[in-house]
Structure 1
Amino acid sequence: MCVVAGVDISGRLIGLLSVRGEDLGSEWADRVTSSLGGRVSRAEVEREIQEIYTALVAALGSGSVDGRAEEFGEVRALLTELSRNRALLGFTPTETAVGVLALKEVLAPALEGKRSDVPAYLQFAGLLDTLGLFTIEVYTRTREELISAQAEQLLELSTPVVKLWDGVIGVPLVGTLDSARTMVVMEKMLQALIDTGSEQAIIDITGVPAVDTEVAQHLLKTVVAARLMGAECTISGIRPQIAQTIVALGIDFGDIVTKATLADALRHALRRSGIAFSRTAPQAGTR
């Protein structure tokens, strides 16, 4: 039990929370709903507040005013759910924390002319600050998880593997190629080789702005991984600027086949697959 100068703080707090009855919950819901700009229904806010209020009074009944204590586990669980929902809906940390902190403003008028309740209110304000910070911590973790998941999704979308021909797949790369992205490229390409039964793969770097030693190493590792699967890789999109950079850096692609364009690489892959084709002259009267 929390006692300050002979005063039962927990008992006083329960009394303060009960002094205005339903009016307190209604005003609390008004402030929270207003801060959310109507993006959450009043009914939903009232439900959240009623659950938090009930758990808060129960925790105070244990005699503790420490928001990190075991007695406040149910309160923290409810605030975790609230914070995660707010984060997923795109609310700000302030809009999330106000769900707790607004109770201080709602409760303050009940102190008018009651100096004996001031110590209890100050203890309660500290408790709400602790719980408010807790909501921000949960909100931040949720946003980080969301951003990380979105980054993974974008990485997946930025490294497509397409079937160019029977037995030939292509990996068109656009943007910077780093270690994380190379791993995704390698995994997706190797899986595509298995799924399609292909023995030829084309890695097209036309959309890669620059090739340095690190990028070249990533490409070489991907080619080696494909060879271990019994497939041959061709790298296309070797523009004049990239060719000059590779030479200047002294990068050796060894016996890896490189082509200037994707069309050249596809032609090479088809020949390696035993597919014969020839250009046909246009017939008279056609264009």
Structure 2
Amino acid sequence: MRAFLESRREQIARRWADAPLFRAVFTVSRDEAVEACEAVVDALSEVASTGRLEDVAAPGFDRVREQLGRMSEARSRTGSSPAQIADEVAALRAPVAELLRAEPADASAPEAAESMLALTVLMGTLRLVVMQTALGSGQELIARQRQQLLEVATPVISLWEGVVAVPLIGTLDSARSQVVMESLLESIVDRRARYVILDITGVSTVDSLVAEHLTKTVDAARLMGAECIVSGIRPAIARTVVHLGIDLGSVLTRASLADALAHVLSRQGIEVSPRADTR
């Protein structure tokens, strides 16, 4: 099998370059697709030389695992599932089998049958390697997208010079709390904020875990030299906090974002007066 793959390396690579798996990734240059295909053929040749045709951990696959991972990730971004990618890999067997059958040998000879079986096993293992790589790339992509969504869902807004606010909406779990804290601390430094308002008007429920996250965020902001205020304390949240015996005594709270901003402005010597009725 190794001798066949080495002798037909260029032919296999050129046929594979037109296959959906490679054509969809290398859309600009066909030469790059051929080069990538040759690398895969070389890897299969190395695996064939070891005789470990069914071993996904065979050294040869390590040479192309990174490349296959990039290709799988690119296909995943276009909406292809790991199963679809695996089917595209399975389709690579037909061109190679066609070349193998065209070899100058008696088709009924045991050697020809063994070669075809070896090819089937080898391509099946490659398919499994690609599936594993695609699943891993997909999980990494999902993790990155989740992180990006968390960052987008916790914006830091400048309300006044030296005053920033973080409007929290939904559930405040550990992962999101970490993103809130990191974004907030970076904003304190970048915007030279002296006051921070955490608005929890959009937080559906406040339990001991949420209170712990808020307290840690407030403490971290204080260490950075900023005063932190928690706004959006609705009657229902106040009753829950009291009922659960949660201690927020060290946290400055206000009923609304407007109240918190008015407090901050008053601390800066700025008086906010109600708008006069012009009627």
TM-score, normalising length from structure 2?
Answer: 0.80
Q: Corresponding residue for 2:52? A: 66
| Residue of structure 2 equivalent to 1:131 | 126
Partner of 1:122: 117
1:248, distance to aligned residue in structure 2 (A): 0.7
**1:257 to 1:90, Cα distance in 2 relative to 1, 3 A:** same
* CA-atom RMSD in angstroms: 3.3
Which residue of 74, 78, 84 maps to 1:95?
A: 84
Superimposed CA distance per residue, residues 82-130 of structure 1 (whole angstroms, 9 cap, x where no aligned partner): 3333233332223322343223344556389424211121122111111
Change in Cα spacing, 1:119 to 1:164, as seen in structure 2 (3 Å) is same
1:6 corresponds in structure 2 to none
Q: Unaligned stretches of 5+ in structure 2?
A: none
Does 1:56 pair with 2:56? no
CA 1:152–1:57: 2 relative to 1, 3 Å = closer
Q: Aligned residue for 2:156? A: 161
Judge conservation of contact 1:52–1:75 (CA < 8 Å) in 2: no
After TM superposition, give the deviation of residue 54 of structure 1 in Å: 6.9
Deviates further, 99-108 or 85-94: 99-108
- Residue in structure 2 matched with residue 248 of structure 1 by the alignment: 243
Deviation string 1:117-164 (CA, Å, 9 cap, x unpaired) is: 111211221111111111111111211111111111111111111111
1:167-186 paired onto structure 2 within 5 Å: 167-186=162-181
Amino acid at match of 1:177: L
Aligned residues: 268
Instruction: Please list, as runs of the form range in 1=range in 2, the aligned pairs for 1:169-208 lying within 5 A after superposition.
Output: 169-208=164-203
Uncovered stretches (5+) of structure 1, i.e. residues with no partner: 1-8
Q: Cα distance 1:165–1:209, how it changes in 2: closer, same or farther (>3 A)?
A: same
Same amino acid, percent of matched pairs: 41
TM-score (normalised: structure 1): 0.78
Tell me if structure 2 keeps the 8 A contact 1:24–1:107: no
Q: Aligned letter for 1:271?
A: S
CA–CA separation in structure 1 for the residues paired with 2:91 and 2:177: 48
Distance 1:210 1:181 in 2: 15
The one-character-per-residue Cα deviations of 1:225-260 (angstroms, maximum 9, x if unpaired) are 222223222111111111111111011211422122
8 Å CA contact retained: 1:223, 1:233: yes
| 1:257 aligned onto 2:252 | yes
Amino acid at match of 1:163: S
